[in-house]
Each structure stands twice: as C-alpha cells, then as structure tokens.
Amino acid sequence: MAGRKEYTAAFILNAQLGGKFSSTFKSAKQQTQELQNVMKEISRTQSNISGYQKTEAALNINRKKAKEYADEVKRLKTEIEAAENPTKKQSQELERAEKGYQKTTEAVARNEEKLKSLKTALDQAGVDTKNLEQHNRYLKASYEEVKTKQKEFIDQSKKLEDANEKIGNARGDLLKSTAVYKGAIEPAVEFETAFAKVIQAVDASPQEYDDLRESIREMSKELPMTAVEIAGIADAAGRLGIQVTDIKDFTRTMIDLNAATGLDPFQSAIELAQFASTTNMAHDQISNYASTLAELTAWKTPGG
C-alpha cells in the first residue's frame, strides 16, 4: 500500500544473525532498543486508530443531539410566540434546550478538532482513515511479528553463546541484555500502550501527561496494583469526564474503594459516573463522594 510504513523488524535482524556471534552481540543493545521503538510506534498508531474511531462515533452522536436540540429550540420558540401568555414551564424548557444545544455544539467542535489532529497523525503514519480496520489488522500482525523476531534473536544469540569457546565477557553481556529485555522492555511497552489510551481519553498539556505518567508509576510502587492496571483506571476516569488535574486522586480513590469494599475499581468508576449523572453531581465531587463511601465501609467493617 503506497505510503504505508512497514512495521517489521526483519531488516534489523537479518543482516546480523547471519554473521559471527561477536559482531551480532556487539549490537544487541542497539537492536533491542530498535525493536522496542518499532513496538512503541505500532502501539502509538493502534491507539490513534482506536481514538479516531471512538472520536468519530462521539462526533456522530453529538451532531445528532445538536440537531435534536436545535429542532426543540425552534419548536419551543414557535409555541411561545404563538401563546398569548407563555408559561414559566415553557420558558424553562426553552432555556434548557438552548443550553443543551450550546453544550452539544461545543462538544461537536471539540470532537472535530480532535478528529483532525488524529487524522494528521494517522496520515503521517501512512494510515488511510477510510480503511482503518484493515490497517489495524495489519498493525496487530506486525506487532506479533516483532515479538517473534525478538524471541528468535534471543534464542539464536543463546545458541551462538553456547557454541563459542571464547564467549567470556560476551556471555555476561548477553545475560545482561536479556535481563534488560525481560525486566524492563516488555513492562515498559505494556505500560506505554496502556498510557497511550489515557492520552486518547484526556485533554492535557505534554507536561500534564508527563506528571500523570509519573504519578501512575509512583502509585504502582505504593499500591498492590501494576502501573498497567492503574493506567486502565485512569483511562476509564478520563473517558468519564474526570479532569486531568483530578485523575490522580480519582484513581487513588477507586483503588482505596476496592480495598475497602472488594468492588472492581473499573466497575466502581463507571457506576459512580452513572450515579453522578443521575444526581447531577459535579465531576470534581465524585472523588470526595467515593472517599466518604470507602471510609464509611471501612468503619462499618468489623475490625476496621
């Protein structure tokens, strides 16, 4: 497909694996980093595709809502103009409809701006937004290919190591390189993939993204959840409309609520958002409500 980037690691590995072990291993760290970069690029593009699809769906919904509000405003104005003595209820309904129209048109504008930004990123990656599903399948296959190439690289490097009488220092380097891959690269890629979804769900500045990323990592050191799991809760918070400045506290509260009640933190976030919508609770008050619920639950629990 014209203009499409070839997300494959074959070009990285083939030239080296056919040579001597010493020359192969000297570039091990560099190759591992290149493989990681390839996987990050694939994950980033997949996240952009997912974000584009979700934003496009949201845009269609908001456009439909905006039209419904516009029709309602037009109808109510006609009724009020025709009435000799418009009722207070009619005026209130008109005010509500006008506010709804304004809110949804603003949402449409935000959706359109985000869709434009995502389309630019996808165009740069060689992805045709008219054929996203096919591109997504291709990227998924490419990601698996990269992982396979990584395994082949490690396996073949090990065979060369065992066969080389003068392995010496190279043996230690290989073990160190393998440890770096297993201990850092895979978790790092998984976390970046999870955090990419947070980026899609939350409007924030680069500095705010960096601060939130660091906060999630720090929480994973303090709490019995991985950074990937915590990022999942932050993603849910962003999609529920929690502002970036409140996501850290909201996420921590969901984890505390889980510890106090045993409720799934993702489900808790969704149910709290539904409750907030029903009661017209402001998003910045959800965390306070959840914290109070967690404290009451702990207080009522024997030994708590």
Residues 186 and 210 in one domain: no
Residues 210 and 173 in one domain: no
Q: How far apart are CA 137 and CA 162, in angstroms?
A: 38
Residues 145 and 230 in one domain: no
Residues of the domain holding 260: 204-304
Q: Is 92 left (phi over 0), alpha (psi -120 to 50) or beta?
A: alpha
Residues 66 and 180 in one domain: yes
Q: Which of 153, 176, 201 is the last residue of a domain?
A: 201
Residues 144 and 17 in one domain: yes
The number of distinct structural domains making up the chain is 2
With cut-offs at 50, 70 and 90, classify the pLDDT of residue 159. Answer: low
Q: How far apart are CA 271 and CA 276, in angstroms?
A: 9
Residues 208 and 180 in one domain: no
Residue with tokens 């019995």: 224
Q: Which of 201, 224, 250 is the last residue of a domain?
A: 201
Q: How far apart are CA 60 and CA 121, in angstroms?
A: 21
Residues 181 and 239 in one domain: no
Q: Which of 159, 180, 201 is the last residue of a domain?
A: 201
Q: Which of 134-143, 154-163, 244-253 has the lowest mean pLDDT?
A: 154-163
Residues 95 and 129 in one domain: yes
209 or 186: which leads in pLDDT: 209
Q: How far apart are CA 215 and CA 220, in angstroms?
A: 9
Residues 51 and 121 in one domain: yes
pLDDT tens digits, one per residue of 26-71 = 555 566 666 667 767 777 888 888 888 889 899 999 999 999 999 9
Residues 114 and 48 in one domain: yes
Quick check: 49 and 194 in contact, CB under 8 A? no
